[in-house]
Structure 1
Amino acid sequence: MEFESLILTFIVALIITPLIKKLAIKIGAVDQPSGRKVHQKVMPRLGGLAIYLSFMIGMIFFYPDSVYTIPILIGGTIIVITGMLDDLYELSPKWKLLGQILAAVVVLGSVQVEFINLPFGGQLYFGMFSIPITIIWIVAITNAINLIDGLDGLAAGVSSIALLTISSMSIIMGNDLVMVMGFMLLGSTVAFLFYNFYPAKIFMGDTGALFLGYMIGVFSLLGFKNVTVFSFIIPIVILGVPISDTIFAMIRRKLQGKPISAPDKSHLHHRLLQIGFSHPLTVLLIYVLSGIFSLAAVLFTKATMWGSLLLTLVLFLIIELVVELTGLISKNYRPLLNFVKKGFDIRRY
């Protein structure tokens, strides 16, 4: 069923994306060039609607009677309406957040994380904190994907890698529902990527970025809820690139005395462009980073506790090197590189 579902959503998205492009231009849902934008011409930005529609068609076709279908339909629709309104009218951050919270609340009955199994036996129940933890997780992943949507094909490609990993791991874990839903959304996203990779013909806009982030957040909870402490970080590892970029953006803005929600032009993709990488090469480099994190997530499922700790340490080291090499926090933040350089200088004497 997974391949049939992927093919169906792929074909539907491939057909309707050009139609969505015409609609976006007609109703004025376009992205204007500006100082913090990379593109130089007016672009239609309602492309996420094609991803949403093709995925929902797949859900209704393959899972008409599932207990998850209605909550996902309603929650997905709320998040898409939020994104569409932002693409059309540029909503304030508080209204976007409200839409994200409402969408998260809708699926609470289906995807709540109630407890995790501890590595040395026993379980840790979240109790009354289960609801806020679930909402915060979904909203955080939604925004992480939204923030990385800054270059042609970037958010769609990173999301595709994450979806492929989640679906593949669901096969290993025997979770057929998440596997098929993941493949359906993967088919929709890859088809859209044909029109969105550099040079893009259409942007997904907040309509698509919020929807992809929302669904990935829901899938990750459905696939990995009520698991061990170390397995609980698997979805975090899969989404390591957008999550790290979001965290360092918050740190950077705090150090600069700016509001956390203030936009800037210092995200990972911006920094790689400023260093001198071309637009498509920057996107491909971030794909590679996402692939490394996804591979690490798969290794987590096979590793012992000490292996998991070692893998975590290696990932933190990779993140630190990327942060320092790109100047993601600031150009002067280079503690690890300075330490290594100092070590080489001492060895010369």
Structure 2
Amino acid sequence: MYLVPVFSLIIIITLFLTKNTFHFILGNPTQEIRKIHSRPIIKIGGLSLLSISIYLFLTNDLLIINSIFFALIFFTIGLIADLRKNFNSKLRFFLMIAAILIFILVNDFKIYDLNHEFLNKIFLFSGVSTTLFIVFALMFITNGLNFIDGNNGLMLGITSLILINFNFHSYEYNSDINNYINCILLAVITLFIINFLTGKIICGDNGAYFLGFLIGTLSIILSNENIIYSTKIACIVFYPVFELFFTFWRRIFFEKKSPFEPDDLHLHSLVYKLLKNKFDTASNLNTINSLTSLMIITPLIFLSMTLFYYGEIIGFLNFFFIQTFLYILIYIHLYRYR
């Protein structure tokens, strides 16, 4: 029954946003480098995800409560970025780091075990190293999801797959955590369906940051509760994290420019360009944009495989290298035809 108000609220907010009276929050199609829509798009669809906040009244778990509250801070940072084009990306970056550090301090938030002695010695050998590892992990997941939000449904689709995987492993263990996952999952899938069918709304930075922080903290909670091995979680969240890592590497070492400078050379952007070149009509652009969400098929294959992986370090390395190899292989092929 706790899912009913979540579902109802997200439908109400989404319908509210799609009314024509809200032109001031619409993103208009322009010639900017990252614009891929042929008609006005609502770029603060993350407001619909605030329905997840209902769970604040359904749990007594202080860590979950604080996770949602701090996710709202990330939502606010993203909302400002969506509404103000001159919001400096570096300032945004440091604000997020500050919020994460405060969250760690307030909750005494730690990672207790990476399920392998070698990994523990590298990343958790001191309080400072543990804190730095948490900051990097949360920043990579949060910004990684934001990187793949440009195409209708892609970020929500990937997030749905991650949460379904979390749900599969948690339903027998902790009912509160499982209910929390179900709450987020319902909101994400509902918005994903609306997003895919209409092509009128994207989460924007606000929704991506909000979900990214929730997913990131949830990943650490699941690891600390020994519900899912940390190395297995790394495989589950691989795609958005590696998207960010690869993009920063490409910009810094290959293109010799700032990692914060936007471009349209993400993997999903190249897929969009390929589809656009084949079906290049204005009426098809939003349909093509929605079709890029079908890229979730690739991570779906790997996420399905993680159901049979139990956290051994050899299995983790195999997953990491196979996924990395396939990502780079596909990227190089598409980059030639950009």
Distance 1:326 1:193 in 2: 25
1:252–1:329: 8 Å Cα contact kept in structure 2?
no
| Match status 1:325 vs 2:330 | yes
Q: Which residue number corresponds to residue 260 of structure 1?
A: 259
Secondary structure, counterpart of 1:260 in structure 2: coil
1:193 partner letter:
F
Task: Give the stretch that moved more between structures: 71-80 or 203-212.
Answer: 71-80
TM-score (norm 1): 0.81
Provide the rounded CA distance (Å) in 2 between the counterparts of 1:208 and 1:328: 31
1:67 CA drift (Å) = 1.3
Aligned partner letter, 2:213:
Y
Deviation per CA, 1:83-127: give whole Å up to 9, x if none.
11111103211221133223323432164214434369x986543
Q: Return the letter of the residue paired with 2:36.
A: V
Counterpart in 1 of 2:43? 45
State the shift of 1:39 in Å: 0.8
Show structure 2 runs of 5+ residues with no match: 279-287
Q: Give the deviation of 1:18 after TM superposition.
A: 1.5
DSSP-derived class of the 1:116 partner? coil
SS of the residue 1:233 aligns to: helix
Per the TM alignment, residue 310 of structure 1 is displaced from its structure 2 partner at its CA by 4.5
Q: Structure 1 residues 21, 5: closer, same or farther in 2, change over 3 A? A: same
* Distance in 1 (alpha carbons) for counterparts of 2:2 and 2:129: 36
> For 1:328 and 1:79, how far apart are their aligned partners in 2?
35
2:237 aligns with: 239
Identity of aligned residues (%): 23
Question: Which structure carries more relative contact order (alpha carbon 8 Å, separation 6+)?
Answer: 2
SS of 1:197 mapped into structure 2: helix
| One-letter code aligned to 2:219 | S
Deviations 1:115-158 (A, max 9, x none): 434369x9865433222221221111100000011111111111
2:79 is the alignment partner of 1:84: yes
Return the alpha-carbon distance in structure 2 between the equivalents of residues 166 and 240 of structure 1: 14
Q: How does 1:15-164 map to 2 (within 5 A)?
A: 15-22=12-19, 25-33=22-30, 34-52=32-50, 54-57=51-54, 59-63=55-59, 65-90=60-85, 91-108=87-104, 109=107, 111-118=109-116, 125-164=125-164
Runs of 5+ consecutive residues of structure 1 not aligned to the other structure: 333-349
| CA distances 1:30-65 after superposition (whole Å, capped 9, x unpaired) | 35433322111221211101102x1001x12311x3
Q: Is the Cα–Cα contact under 8 Å of residues 113 and 130 in structure 1 kept in the other structure? A: yes
Give aligned pairs, total.
Answer: 319
Q: Deviations over 1:307-326 (max 9, x none)?
A: x5256325523431332233
Match of 1:178 in 2: 177
Distance 1:226 1:185 in 2: 19
- The CA deviation at 1:166 is 1.4
TM-score scaled by length of structure 2:
0.84
Residue 300 of structure 2 corresponds to which residue in structure 1? 291
Question: Counterpart of 1:345?
Answer: none
Q: Give how far 1:289 is off.
A: 1.7
- Whichever of the two has the greater Rg, that structure is 1
When the two chains are superposed, the root-mean-square deviation of aligned CA atoms in Å is: 2.9
What SS class does the counterpart of residue 327 from structure 1 fall into? helix
